[in-house]
Structure 1
Amino acid sequence: MLNLPAISKQHLIIFTRYPEPGKTKTRLIPALGTVGAANLQREMTEHTRFHVQELQKVIDISVEVRFAGGDSQLMQDWLGLDLVYQSQGEGDLGSRMARSLFEAFQSDATKVIIIGTDCPGVNAQILETAFEKLHSFDMVLGPAIDGGYYLIGLRQPIPELFVNIEWGTAQVFQKTVDIAQKLNLSYVNLSPLADVDRPEDLPIWEQALAREMEK
């Protein structure tokens, strides 16, 4: 068992990447350039962190950042000392998510949710709802409009949900639902939200910022 800091029964894992130019948001480089794409990665992660902090004012959760690129020191310098940082490690996205879930449950969590930072519509209310749904369902999923998902929550590790899936394709959400049905898992879907992955998605981010400014 890993020597991780104590975590709450309700545990949130944020998957992100250190914003190094040329290595992040690569599909947006044609529109934004390497530095612009990295800056967007930085801003979107900070946006997610803000909403997670709002959630922590309402419910008792522990938060962990699983990062790719960079190192723990760079992540701390960027996002602060009050978060737990762990490298995502090797393997495809599925194996990295499955590993992070397994380790959280090993550390006595009873509800674990993973989110990315690509979906500016994720807010404290949606996250609170997701944790509430895990009282009643084995799995909660947040479908992304592009066919993936922006959130997955479980009450126990279920590695089958993360294998034989072509990550980054439009079939990810449906394939995950199909696996859940074969395993007889009870599940519930949250509201569909849009990812920001491609140049044509940039207005989604700009609209999200405008809404934040209005509050």
Structure 2
Amino acid sequence: MNATAERLPELLRHYLAIAFSVLVSAAAIDAHAAQTGFPGLEIFTHEDQAGIASDAAGLRFEGSITRPLADALERLLIVDGKPKYKRLLLELNSEGGELEAVKLVAGVLKKVGSMSALSTRVMDGKVCASGCLALFMQGQSRKASTSSVWVFHGACSANTNVPSLAATDQFLDLLVASGVKRDFTCKLVQEGYVISPGAFILSGYELFHNYDTGIITELLPNWRPEEPSGMWMVVPR
């Protein structure tokens, strides 16, 4: 998809500048992540934290989608044609990537999802743009924060923001094959959102409540309760 952070519209840059990040569930993310050998990709297992089941793993990916990512995921998640884990959670924060790379990575995740229970999610203030949608759709359970950021645009060649209609058709077909409702992809075309230069930007709340897309299966709550800490007192009224 050739979508990079530098090419996203000023509106998205502003949105990202003010978007907040929160600590995610300690059951899935821990400070001591196992190394994957691939930039932007982390994996969390029972060896990192006892709260994670021995047959489960959590992954976090941040960055552009490239072809080597497909090899890294297959190496981490499949051994001798069999799944290494029965349950997987993939957390995404990505501006997308080149279309052929997106196809390869989505194909690996589809293969993994056919053998394991795969869930995907996008957290508060995080982005799932363009080709990231194809990865997110590979989860059987697909959760997102109301304040996550979702970006739709056409597939562009390098050094241009003008969508290629043929490549965009391929990308939209990939989304539909992954479970996105065709009525929604048709709307993206009819409104010119994916056939003209620019980007259509939605919050997770808008994507879930305002459009019938089949993308997000569950919205994550905004409220993140914490245990009291430090000095505090109750002031009588």
Higher relative contact order at CA 8 Å, sep ≥6: structure 1 or structure 2? 1
Common fold, TM-score beyond 0.5? Answer: no
Tell which structure's C-alpha radius of gyration is larger.
Answer: 2
**What is the TM-score when the length of structure 2 is the normalising length?**
0.32
**What is the TM-score when the length of structure 1 is the normalising length?**
0.34
Larger relative helix fraction = 1
